[in-house]
Amino acid sequence: MINTKKILIIGGDPNSINSEIIFKSWKKLSKSTRKKIYVISNYELIKNQFKKLNYSINVQKVKDINDHASSNKLKIIDVHLNFKNPFKIATNHNRKFILKSLNLGHKLSLEKNVMGLINCSINKNLLNKKKIGVTEYLSAKCDNDGSEAMLIWNKRLAVCPITTHLDVKDISRNLTKKLIIKKIITIDKWFKKKFKKKVNIAVLGLNPHNAELREGSEEKKIIIPAIKKSKMKKINIDGPHVADTIFINNFKKYDVIVGMFHDQVLAPFKSMFKYNAVNITLGLKYLRVSPDHGTASNLIGKNKANINSFLQCVKIIEKFGR
């Protein structure tokens, strides 16, 4: 049976390589996949960006996801945006545009005929909230209680940071046993549902050498108790492992490595797998994924954007979407 459900793409930050990513990916996608795709962006913006980059695609403005078009046309659900230069959008206009796009994407993703949502990269400063990314923004829209998990996934390995877009000085005071357990449970449930398996999880400590497991350390007070509690829930989990050595060889024993902060796990992961990964938000009311890279505004017009992560996003939606 042919799946006629839609794939939503939020076009993301206009001051970026997103239009290049969308164009190059569109050329690689099958006709059946193209037919499912609806991009949430500004119609005139996309047309102007493609023109400036000398890209040629048939673009069509549509009212909503029930407005059909040919599989050869890139369907744009139009969101209002004031602009003169299509790659230099003023911050105040860009912020409104991004928030409207995210809100519309969230609303449409709740509909039954949507497989999932891909959002292209966004400058987090545009969300107008301190220390928040799209993961946190959409989780709040879903009335989440902090159990959402940022999973950077690859067929060989996945990583998850317990705290996400926090300054280093704020990590320790935001780290709690309850938070760790919530995210571990979310990861365990997702692997059971999607892969029909019990996931093997390694948990890292926070401090260098796990603070030698000194009394009063985060390892002793928070991380070890969270691991013990998770084990009581029949989750395959161990640790805390020392962060500076696990990615040498021991990672091969695990499906997921859970770290205490963003760069603790994302930096080594990206060094190992480059663009061969996607960012999946677990625990939302719908499947949301995003390419594992930023806006790369310094690469606009240079034809150097790597589309591998975006194409992986499309595959994930088609594989795991509802």
Query: Could you tell me which CATH number the domain at 146-283 has?
Result: 3.40.718.10
Pick from 309, 242, 232, 241: nearest CA to 274: 309
Query: Degrees (nearest 5) of the Cα angle 280, 284, 289?
Result: 25
Long-range contacts of 250-253 (CB under 8 A, 24+ apart): 250/202, 251/157, 251/202, 253/200, 253/202
Pick from 227, 230, 189: nearest CA to 205: 227
Rounded CA gap, 188 and 38, in Å? Answer: 31
Could you give the 3-state DSSP secondary structure of residue 155?
A: coil
pLDDT at 144: 86
pLDDT tens over the chain, length 322 residues? 456 799 999 999 999 999 999 999 999 999 999 999 999 999 999 999 999 999 999 999 999 898 876 678 999 999 999 999 999 999 999 999 999 999 999 999 999 999 999 999 998 888 866 657 898 899 999 988 888 999 999 989 999 999 998 899 999 999 999 999 999 999 999 999 999 999 999 999 999 999 999 999 999 999 999 999 999 999 999 999 999 999 998 999 999 999 999 999 999 999 999 878 899 999 999 999 999 788 988 999 898 999 999 999 999 999 988 7
Inter-CA distances, 280 with 49, 174, 179, 269, Å: 28, 22, 18, 15
Q: Cite the residue boundaries of each domain of the chain with CATH code 3.40.718.10.
A: 1-144+285-322, 146-283
pLDDT at 129: 64
Query: Could you tell me which CATH number the domain at 1-144+285-322 has?
Result: 3.40.718.10
Rounded CA gap, 240 and 244, in Å? Answer: 12
pLDDT at 41: 97
pLDDT at 1: 45
Residue 154, amino acid: N
Its pTM stands at 0.90
pLDDT at 292: 79
